[in-house]
């Protein structure tokens, strides 16, 4: 049985400028474990959406709140969890952006993209965390 990879953790300020540093760190780890360019693109896009949602909608840019990013990676999968300190939300209450009445609305697209690009996406019961898994070889 393969050893469970250690969990790495970053704590980010509630500023969109923090996203690039987090992406660089996670994508470097993914590339080091053999994730290809297409998989890294999917990871980058999904991570950017999750972090943007945490900073903007969760923490509402409040500088006294932080976003925690934890990740584990090995040669077969990457698991990322993004947790904010906001009030949470109910994912199934976010309008479906593909419905005609919502095509002009900007909300909901991030969750849709995360679900499209990652192998698994799950939200915590309190709506403050999202966990995303990317299996290598599943595009």
Task: For residue 58, tell me if it sits in a domain.
Answer: yes
Q: What is the CATH number of the domain that holds 91?
A: 3.30.565.10
pTM of the entire structure? 0.88
Region of 85 please: left (phi>0), alpha (psi -120 to 50) or beta.
Answer: alpha
Number of domains in the chain: 1
Task: For residue 2, tell me if it sits in a domain.
Answer: no
Residues 32-67: pLDDT tens digits? 999 999 999 999 999 999 999 999 999 999 999 999
Task: For residue 95, tell me if it sits in a domain.
Answer: yes
Task: For residue 3, tell me if it sits in a domain.
Answer: no
Task: For residue 22, tell me if it sits in a domain.
Answer: yes
Structural domain that includes position 39? 8-135
Looking at the chain, the whole-number percentage of residues with pLDDT higher than 90 is: 75
Task: For residue 1, tell me if it sits in a domain.
Answer: no
d(CA 126, CA 86): 10
d(CA 43, CA 57): 20
């Amino acid at each position: 049985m393969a050893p469970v990879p250690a969990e790495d953790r970053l704590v980010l300020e509630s500023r969109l400028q923090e996203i690039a540093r987090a992406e660089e760190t996670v994508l470097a780890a993914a590339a080091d474990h053999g994730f290809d360019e297409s998989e890294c693109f999917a990871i980058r896009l999904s991570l950017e959406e999750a972090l943007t949602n945490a900073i903007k909608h969760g923490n509402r840019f409040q500088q006294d709140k932080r976003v925690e990013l934890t990740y584990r990676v090995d040669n077969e999968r990457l698991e990322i969890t993004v947790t904010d300190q906001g009030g949470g939300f109910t994912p199934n209450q976010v309008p479906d952006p593909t419905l005609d009445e919502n095509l002009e609305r900007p909300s909901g697209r991030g969750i849709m993209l995360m679900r499209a690009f990652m192998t698994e996406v799950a939200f915590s019961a309190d709506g403050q965390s999202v966990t995303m898994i990317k299996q290598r070889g599943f595009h």
